[in-house]
Structure 1
C-alpha cells in the first residue's frame, strides 16, 4: 500500500471511528429536548441504553465475521447499517421508533469501532501500528468533549440533525474505504458460521447489561427480575463456552485465551473500561449539578482532559514504535489514571476551575497513554487468522466494562445521594421562610436528576444540601473507580515485556508455522 493510499484509508477509518464514538456522547445533552418533542419521558434512558447494548453485543461478531469474509465487505456493511439507522433515527416520530433505530445504530457502530483497529493491523506490522493507532485515541478524546458541545448546539437548532450529520461524513468514509480496500484485501478462507455461538453470546451480554442497568434503579438488586437476568446471563455464558469448544469456526476462539498475555490483557481492558467511563460520565455531572454549568459549557470545561488524551495517545504511540515494547506505557498509564481519579475525590463546591483543569489533564494523560498500547498487546500475541476476533475482544471487554461500571457506579452514587438527602434535607427545609416554602415542592427534588437547572432554582438552604450531597456522592464514585483502576496497575505489572513484531512477513510466517511464535516474540526477562 502506497503512502497516499495508507493516509486515505487511515483518514477514512478515523472518520468511521469518530461517527461511532461521537454518537455515544452527542445524544445525552439533547435528550431533554428530544423527549419534550416526542413526549416519551418513560423511555428516556433507553435512547442511550439501546445503543450501548447493541454496540457491545455485536462487537465480537464483527471481529469474527471479518476474519472469515474479509475486512472490506464487513466494514462496508457496518457503515451502511449505521447510516441507514441514522437517517431513520432522524425521521423518528415517537420514542419507540427512536429507541429501535438507536439500537440499529448500535449494531453498525459495533463494527465501526473494532474494524477500524483491525484494518490498520492488516496493513501495518505491530511495531508501526502504535503511532497510527494513537490517533484513534485522539479521536475518542475529541468525541468525548465535542459530543456534548455539538449535541447541545444542534438541540437548539434542530435535534434531528444530531443524526443527519452522520450521513455526509459516513458517505465520504464509505467511498474512501471501498476504493482503497478494493485494491488491498486479505484473502478469505473456507468458513462455517457459528450460529449457535452467536445465539448464546448476544442474549448473554444483553441479559448482563440489562441487569446492571436496571439494578438499583428500576428494580432492587435482590429482586426476582435482576437475579433472573444474572442467572440467565451466567447460564448462557457457560453454554456459549461449551459451544465454542466444539465449533469449527468459533466466534470467540478460546485458543486465544491460552496465551496468558491475551487473557490478562482482556481482564485489564474490562477493568480499564470501568475507570475510563467513570471519568467521562461523572465529571460533567459535577460541573452541571454542583457548579451549575450548562451541558454545553460543561463539555467545554472538559477540554483539558481531551488535550491530555490527545497528546499522550499520539506521543505514546510514536514512542512505542521507536522502543518496540509496550508494557511500561501500560504501567505508567494505569498509574497516572489512578492518580487522576484520586485527585477527583478532592473536588468541593469551591474548587477553582484551574485546579479542576489540572486534575482533568492528569486523568486524560493517563487514559491516553493506556488505551492504544493495550490494543497492541492483544494484537501482538494472536495469530493472523484470529486478528479480527482478538481486536474485537479488546473493544468488547472495554465496552462491557464501561457499561457495567457506569451502571454500578451510578447505583453507588444514587445510594449515597439518597442517604445524604434523607439525613440533611429535613433540617434544610426547616430553615426555609414561608415564602421559600410556598415555592418549593418535593417534585423539584424528583426532577433534579433529569434537569440540572432545577438545582440552581432551589431555595438556598436546600440548594446547598443538594450540591453537597452530589459532591459527596461523586467523591464516593471516584474513590471506588480509583480503587478499581489501582487493580489495573498490579495486572499491568504482571504482563511480560514482549517485543512488538516488526514486519508483516513475520506475521505471515506465524500464520504458516505457529511453532515460530517462541522465536518471533522475544520476551525481555529484565524487571
Structure 2
C-alpha cells in the first residue's frame, strides 16, 4: 500500500476488517487531549523507570530477604519477560484493540508491583518481578501504538519528542528515586510507588480514549510466539552470562548462541506461513522500515554501552559516588533530550527527516572517539562535557527511527511495528552491553596484570568496589585506574564502530512524506 493510499484510509476514519480478521481502529475526529497524551507518557515512564529504580535498592533488599547468590535474577527475570512479551503485546493490540491491550498491560504491571512489595523471600521477589516484566512489555509498545493510532506520523512528532525527553530523564532519575525511597521510607516503596502513577494512567486512558474496533475472529500465532520466546530467552541469557558468568568460548554460551540461531530461523519460516504472524514479514518489505529496525538495534547498543561504562570511569578513576557519576552524565542525556525535542518540532512543522539520522551517526561516532582522550588525570567537567556530542548524535538517531517506523507501517500493523522496534532496541542494548563489557573486562584485566602481575589478576578477578580501592596502596590504585581507562577506551572504540554502522545505514533512508490526517 502506498503512502498516499494509507493517508486516504486514515482520512476516512472507517472501521475495516482485513482478510485475516485484523481490527482496524477508527481514528478519532479530533486530536486527543493533552491529558490523554499524559496518560500514554506515564506508561512509558513506568516501564523505563522500573528498569533502573531497583538497582540502588538491591543491597538493602538482599540484607532484608537474603539470597545474595540469586541477586542478578531480580534484574534478569524482569528483562527476560519484558523482552519476550513486548512483540506479543503489540500483536494482541493489533488483533483485539490497542486500548484494551494497553490497559491490561498496566494492570498486570501494577499487580506485579504490589506483589514485589509484599515479597517475603528472594524466590518470591524474582517470580513477581517476572510477572511485573510481562506487564512492562506492553507499556512502551502500547503507548507507541496508541500514539500511532490517535495521531498521524506528521502529528506524532511532537509527542514522540516528549518520549525522547522522558527516556533519558527516567534513566537518570531511576537510581536517584530508588535511593531516596529506600533511605527515607523502605525498599518496598520502590515498587509501591508505581501504583498511584499507574492508576492515573489507567483513568486517563480508560475515560479519555474512544476507539471503535471491529470484532475479530483470529488466533494468536502460538508457534511463532513460542519460537520467538525461545530465541529471546537464549539471547538475553547469552547477553547476561557471556564474558561474566561464563567465557565466550564456553559450551554454555555457544549452546545459547546455537539455540537462538535455530529458533530465529524456525521463527522466520513459521511467520511466512502464519495467517496472523507475531511480527508480520510484510513489514520488512518496506525499505524504510527495515532500515529503521537496524538503526534501532545499533542505537540501543551504543546508548546502553556508553551509559553503563562511563560511570565505571567516574567512580573508579575520578573517585566519585554513584549519585555524582549519574549527575555527571547529564550532558549525555540532555544532548539526547534536546536533539529529540528539536527534531520532533521541526518534523511536526513539516520539515524533512532524512538528514537527521545521517548527521546523528556522524556526530555519535565523533563523540565516541572523543572519549579516547580521557585519561587518569582528566578533570570531571571535561569528562562530563565530552559526552554531550555523543548524546546529541544518539538523539538524532532515535527520534527519526520512531517516526520512520510508524510511517512505514499500515494501521493494522502499528502494534507489531512498534513492538518490533522496541524489541530490537532492547536486544541491541543487551548484546551491546555484553559484548563491549567483555572488551572492557578483557582490556582492564590485561592492563592491570601487565603492571602488577599475579596480584593484578587477583585484583580484577574479585569484586573490587570504589570504596575498597581507596584502601589499597597508591601504586595499586594507579595501576587499576589506568586499567579502567584502557577498558573504557575499548568501549569507546566499539561504540564508535556501532555509530559508524548507523551512519552508513542511514544513507539508505528514503524521504517518504509523513502521513497526514
Give the TM-score, by structure 2 length: 0.90
Query: How far is the alpha carbon of 1:386 from its aligned partner?
Result: 0.9
8 Å contact from structure 1 (residues 344, 359) kept in 2 = yes
**Is 2:132 the partner of 1:116?**
no
**Is 2:133 the partner of 1:133?**
no
CA distance in 1: counterparts of 2:444 and 2:511, whole angstroms:
43
8 Å contact from structure 1 (residues 75, 112) kept in 2 = yes
- Aligned alpha-carbon RMSD (Å): 2.0
Aligned residue for 1:498? 512
Query: How far is the alpha carbon of 1:153 from its aligned partner?
Result: 2.3
Query: How far is the alpha carbon of 1:2 from its aligned partner?
Result: 8.1
5+ residue gaps, structure 2: 1-27
CA distance in 2: counterparts of 1:263 and 1:298, whole angstroms:
36
Query: How far is the alpha carbon of 1:427 from its aligned partner?
Result: 9.1
Aligned residue for 1:220? 247
CA deviations on 1:265-288 (whole Å, 9 max, x unpaired) are: 211211111101112211222222
Question: Which residue of 144, 151, 158 maps to 2:171?
Answer: 144
- 3-state SS of the aligned residue for 2:377? coil
**Is 2:443 the partner of 1:416?**
yes
CA distance in 1: counterparts of 2:427 and 2:475, whole angstroms:
40
Aligned length: 489
Q: What does residue range 87-126 of structure 1 map to in structure 2 within 5 Å?
A: 87-126=114-153
- 3-state SS of the aligned residue for 1:416? helix
CA distance in 2: counterparts of 1:499 and 1:289, whole angstroms:
49
Query: How far is the alpha carbon of 1:426 from its aligned partner?
Result: 3.7
Aligned residue for 1:325? 352
8 Å contact from structure 2 (residues 470, 477) kept in 1 = yes
CA distance in 1: counterparts of 2:64 and 2:29, whole angstroms:
50
**Is 2:277 the partner of 1:250?**
yes
CA distance in 1: counterparts of 2:29 and 2:221, whole angstroms:
36
CA distance in 2: counterparts of 1:75 and 1:460, whole angstroms:
55
Aligned residue for 1:482? 496
Query: How far is the alpha carbon of 1:289 from its aligned partner?
Result: 2.2
Q: What does residue range 354-433 of structure 1 map to in structure 2 within 5 Å?
A: 354-426=381-453
8 Å contact from structure 1 (residues 261, 496) kept in 2 = yes
Query: How far is the alpha carbon of 1:39 from its aligned partner?
Result: 2.1
- 3-state SS of the aligned residue for 2:33? helix
CA distance in 1: counterparts of 2:76 and 2:499, whole angstroms:
24
Over 3 Å counting, the alpha-carbon distance change for 1:378 and 1:187 in structure 2 is: same
- 3-state SS of the aligned residue for 1:216? coil
Question: Which residue of 177, 198, 202 maps to 1:174?
Answer: 202
Aligned residue for 1:517? none
Over 3 Å counting, the alpha-carbon distance change for 1:2 and 1:362 in structure 2 is: farther
Give the TM-score, by structure 1 length: 0.89
**Is 2:109 the partner of 1:54?**
no
Q: What does residue range 299-318 of structure 1 map to in structure 2 within 5 Å?
A: 299-318=326-345
CA distance in 2: counterparts of 1:94 and 1:30, whole angstroms:
15
